Amino acid sequence: QQSYPLDKAFDGEEALAKASPETDLIVLDIMLPGLDGYEICTRLRSRVETETIPIIFLSAKVEEEDQIRGLMLGADDYLTKPVSPQVVVAHVKAVLRQSGVEESRIIQVQDLTIYEDEYRATLEGRDLGLTLTEFELLRYLLRHPRKAFTRQQLLETIWKDAMMVTERTVDAHIKNLREKL
């Protein structure tokens, strides 16, 4: 299951203000208050700092002419509502792949975010300063929600090749992790 950090905008002006060179992709509705999606797309494509951000239109406008207009204005994809979240995620992955934007590997649960490629975690934006073992343990637990593990299972998974590690090592790392969280 892929997780993406999201930033929402509730009208066209806010969407334009939030778009920046750090934005990986924009999912854009056409029928927004204020500026419509077509105008936002046009303005994003006209600004040097946002001209290459991939854009996917997600709209209830299902007519062929609407789809053609969106694509001609510079959108990378156009989806019509209703559409399942799984289809949206699949299109996001495809557009990111096509645009050369590497998918960020991020796990997010409420205010806790794990950046897998950077081996770091934040809670409410504050870096937790995890050791590599603490990071691996937290990542493993978050990837398997609602599942209980024995100490031995965690040892075999996290400390695969360690010969002299005891079950109490798991206790110590869990204790440290809890303190940091």
For 48-98, write each residue's pLDDT tens digit: 889 999 999 999 999 999 999 999 999 999 999 999 999 999 999 899 888
Taken as a whole, the chain contains a residue count of: 181
Query: What distance in Å separates the CA atoms of residue 162 and residue 154, rounded to the nearest whole number?
Result: 12
Instruction: Give the mean pLDDT of the chain.
Output: 89
* Cβ-proximal residues to 116 (8 Å cutoff; 6+ apart), any chain: 105, 106, 107, 139
The token duo for 121 is: 């975690």
| pLDDT class of 24 with cuts at 50, 70, 90 | confident
108 vs 18, residue with greater confidence: 18
Q: How far apart are the two ends of the chain, measured CA to CA in Å?
A: 23
79 vs 164, residue with greater confidence: 79
Q: Are 25 and 58 in contact (CB under 8 A)?
A: no
Query: What distance in Å separates the CA atoms of residue 50 and residue 43, rounded to the nearest whole number?
Result: 9
**Structure confidence at residue 177 (pLDDT):** 94
For 115, phi then psi, to 5°, come to -100, 100
The token duo for 142 is: 């978050």
The token duo for 148 is: 């209980």
pLDDT at residue 14 tops 70: yes
The pTM (predicted TM-score) of the whole model is: 0.58
pLDDT at residue 171 tops 70: yes
Rounded to 5°, the CA angle 20-57-55 comes to 30
Report the candidate in 174, 172, 116, 107 with the shortest Cα–Cα distance to residue 145: 107
**Structure confidence at residue 165 (pLDDT):** 83
Adjacent-strand bridge partners of 78: 57
**Structure confidence at residue 108 (pLDDT):** 83
pLDDT at residue 100 tops 90: no
* Maximum CA extent, the chain: 67
> 13 exposed, middle or buried (CB, 10 Å; 0-12, 13-18, 19+)?
middle
For 106-163, write each residue's pLDDT tens digit: 888 889 999 888 889 999 989 999 999 999 999 989 888 888 888 988 888 888 777 7
* Residue 32: how many other CB atoms lie within 10 Å: 19
